[in-house]
Amino acid sequence: MILDRFRIPGRAAVVTGAGRGIGAATAVALAQAGADVAICARTEDQLHAVAEQVEAAGRRALVVPADLSGPGAAEDLARRAAEAFGRLDVVVNNVGGALPRAFLDTGRKHLENAFQFNVGIAHDLTRAAVPYLIETGGGTVVNISSVMGRVAGRGYLAYGTAKAALAHYTRLAALDLAPRIRVNALAVGSVATSALDIVMTDDDLRTRMEQATPLKRIGDPEEVAAAVLFLASPAGGYVTGTVLDVDGGLDRPNLDLGLPDL
């Protein structure tokens, strides 16, 4: 049956930024599809709540509270996941972000920090995971990029540049690691996570964003998780080096930050 291609029984996955939002929804989706999941974030309490949902799906959860920007942290995460589950098949690089800033308020350090947080950590974990992925006959990596990596909006210089880099990193890594490891990414639009708390609690802001989105609504984390599952499962077995848009149809930012001309 075609639906069986979306199942990943007996597999093991790592999901970063898994304490809430897209990362948490992805961890639970992978568990529901049959995978044991190592979940990593900086806030341990949030991870335990997600672990309960993973275990409720009948799978094992490994809670790894860590700041992955620290030396050796990504390598330790990959090792611990492989040791706990006896294998590693799926890596989801969900850590990322950067605060909006006006152009003249964006210094080199802001660019460097955005690149390290959105690309450097993803590379560290992917590189550390490769030997374990190969041991199981190959595996898959899914990077969470953003629509801001391909559209232009004022205030998103550091964030958008870093996410664009992550998207192209995905294409390059896919070629480097083919044919045994598939590498893909999602370019995510506006999704109802904690990053949009101010929007989701303001009727005017939310309505403006919804009206500027072709599908006329904000996305749900589970919709992103479903796309991750497609790319991570045999259903996406002939897909690599692809950046899949999960953005409600956006071709421009759906919220103007109101930054004036210089």
Which residues have a catalytic role annotated? 159
Q: Are strands 243-246 and 36-41 parallel, antiparallel or unpaired?
A: unpaired
CB neighbour list of residue 4: distance below 8 Å, 6 or more residues apart? none
Nearest to 145 by CA among 74, 197, 93, 90: 93
Q: How far is CA 25 from each of CA 1, 15, 50, 51, 260, rounded to the nearest angstrom?
A: 25, 10, 9, 11, 37
> Rounded to the nearest 5 degrees, what angle is found at the Cα of 56, between the Cα atoms of 140 and 86?
40
* Farthest-apart Cα atoms in the chain, separation: 58
Please compute, for residue 36, the number of CA atoms within 13 A of its CA located in the half-sphere on the CB side. Answer: 17
Strand pairing class (61-65; 36-41) = parallel
Pair 53, 28: CB distance under 8 Å: yes
Helix, strand, or coil (residue 79): helix
- Counting Cα atoms < 13 Å in the Cβ hemisphere of 96 gives 32
